[in-house]
C-alpha cells in the first residue's frame, strides 16, 4: 500500500513554532519536527546517497562482498569496494548561541524565543543526522565556551546534547570570535560546522574571520542567522520602552520616528553579512522565528549533501 503523505495542515501542526512552543521538552519538540518533516516528503532527503557512486576504497574484513568491484579486481588483482556517498558520514558540530540576546521574543507572543528556536533546530537536525549514522556534536557559548560535546554517533549522544541545550541559561554577552577560534583548534578532523546565532556581536568582520578559521581547517560551514519577526519588521506603533539586552540599557522612544531608519540599518547589516559569507564560502541562511522549520531543515540538508560530495572529492 502506498504511504499516505501528510496534508499541508498536518505538516504545519508538526512544524509551526506556535505549536512547538507548547511542547516544553526539547527532545519531544525535535522528534516532532523531524517526523513532520519526513512525513511531508515524497522521498527521504537522504535517498540517492546509496545509489550515487563516489569512489573506491580497499576491502577490509567485514565489508559486504556485494559492493566489491570485480572489474577492478580483475585488472589489479586487489579487492576494492565501491564506496557510495551514503558511506561518507560527516562529523557535524552545532554551535548554539546561548547569550542573553537569544532570550528575546515579543511580549505575549506564543512563538519560541530565539534560543528555543535555535535549540529546536540543532536538536532536530542532530536527531536526523544520527539516524543516518553521522556523528554529531554541540558547543554552547555566550562570552565564552560554556559546553563542548565532541562529535559522536553514540546512542547516548543526543541525550547529552539535549540536556546541555535544555540547561543553558541566557544571561551574558556574546563573544563569538574567540569561541570559534578555540573550537577550530579543537576540531582536528574535517566535517561540517553549523553556527546558530542571532549575530548580536560587536564586530561582524571578526566573526566572519573566525568562521574562516573553520574553512581553513577544511570544514564546511553553515550559518543559521536567527532573528525574531519583530526584529525584522519593527511592528511597534505606540510609544514603547525598549529594554536592551547584553548590557545595552533601556530607552523610551516613538517607534514611527525610528522605523524607516531602523529597517534601513537592519537591511544594510543583513546584506553585508550575506555578502561576506558568500565571499568566505560560508552557507548563510536568515531564519525568522515565525517561519516553519521545514525550510530550515531543507536548507541544512542541502548543505550537508554538498559537504559530503566535497569530502569525497578531496579523498
Residue pLDDT, tens place only, 99-124: 999 999 887 788 899 999 999 999 99
Mean pLDDT throughout 135-157?
95
Residue 19's pLDDT is 80
Beta strands 220-227; 240-243: pairing state = unpaired
Residue 14's pLDDT is 63
For 145, the grid coordinates are 565556551
Percentage of the chain beyond pLDDT 90 is 45
pLDDT at 60 over 80: no
Q: What's the pTM?
A: 0.80
Mean pLDDT throughout 33-39?
79
Strands in 39-104 per DSSP E: 53-58, 80-84, 91-97
If one compares 169 and 251, the residue with the highest pLDDT of the two is: 169
Q: What is the mean pLDDT of the chain?
A: 82
pLDDT at 171 over 50: yes
Domain with CATH 3.40.50.410 in the chain: 90-314
Q: Which CATH class is domain 90-314?
A: alpha beta
Reading phi first (left if > 0) and then psi (alpha if -120 to 50, else beta), residue 195 is in: beta
Residue 43's pLDDT is 43
Residue 194's pLDDT is 96
In degrees rounded to 5, what are phi and psi of residue 141?
A: -150, 160
Q: How confident is the model at residue 24 (pLDDT cuts 50, 70, 90)?
A: confident
Crossing angle for the helix pair 204-216 and 176-186, nearest 10 degrees? 10
Amino acid at each position: 500500500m502506498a504511504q499516505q503523505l501528510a496534508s499541508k495542515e498536518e505538516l504545519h501542526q508538526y512544524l509551526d513554532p506556535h505549536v512547538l512552543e507548547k511542547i516544553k521538552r526539547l527532545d519531544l519538540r525535535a522528534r516532532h519536527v523531524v517526523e513532520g518533516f519526513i512525513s511531508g516528503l515524497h522521498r527521504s532527503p537522504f535517498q540517492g546517497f546509496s545509489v550515487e557512486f563516489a569512489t573506491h576504497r580497499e576491502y577490509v574484513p567485514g565489508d559486504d562482498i556485494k559492493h566489491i568491484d570485480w572489474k577492478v579486481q580483475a585488472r589489479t588483482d586487489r579487492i576494492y569496494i565501491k564506496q557510495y556517498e551514503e558511506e561518507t558520514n560527516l562529523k557535524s558540530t552545532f554551535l548554539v548561541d546561548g547569550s542573553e540576546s537569544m532570550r528575546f521574543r515579543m511580549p505575549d507572543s506564543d512563538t519560541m524565543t530565539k534560543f528555543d528556536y535555535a535549540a529546536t533546530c540543532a536538536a532536530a537536525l542532530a536527531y536526523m543526522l544520527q539516524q543516518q549514522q553521522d556523528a554529531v556534536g554541540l558547543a554552547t557559548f555566550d562570552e565564552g565556551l560554556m559546553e563542548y560535546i565532541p562529535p559522536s554517533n553514540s546512542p547516548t549522544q543526543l541525550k547529552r546534547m539535549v540536556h546541555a541545550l535544555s540547561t543553558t541559561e541566557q544571561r551574558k554577552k556574546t563573544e563569538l570570535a574567540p569561541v570559534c577560534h578555540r573550537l577550530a583548534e579543537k576540531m582536528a578532523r574535517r566535517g561540517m560546522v553549523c553556527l546558530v546565532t542571532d549575530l548580536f556581536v560587536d564586530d561582524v568582520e571578526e566573526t566572519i574571520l573566525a568562521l574562516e578559521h573553520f574553512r581553513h581547517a577544511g570544514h564546511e560551514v553553515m550559518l543559521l542567522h536567527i532573528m525574531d519577526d519583530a526584529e525584522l519588521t519593527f511592528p511597534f506603533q505606540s510609544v514603547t520602552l525598549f529594554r536592551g539586552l547584553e548590557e545595552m540599557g533601556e530607552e523610551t522612544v516613538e517607534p514611527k520616528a525610528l522605523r524607516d531608519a531602523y529597517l534601513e540599518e537592519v537591511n544594510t547589516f543583513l546584506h553585508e553579512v550575506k555578502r561576506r559569507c558568500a565571499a568566505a564560502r560560508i552557507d548563510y541562511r536568515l531564519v525568522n522565528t515565525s517561519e516553519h522549520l521545514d525550510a530550515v531543515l531543507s536548507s541544512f540538508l542541502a548543505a550537508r549533501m554538498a559537504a559530503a560530495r566535497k569530502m569525497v572529492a578531496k579523498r
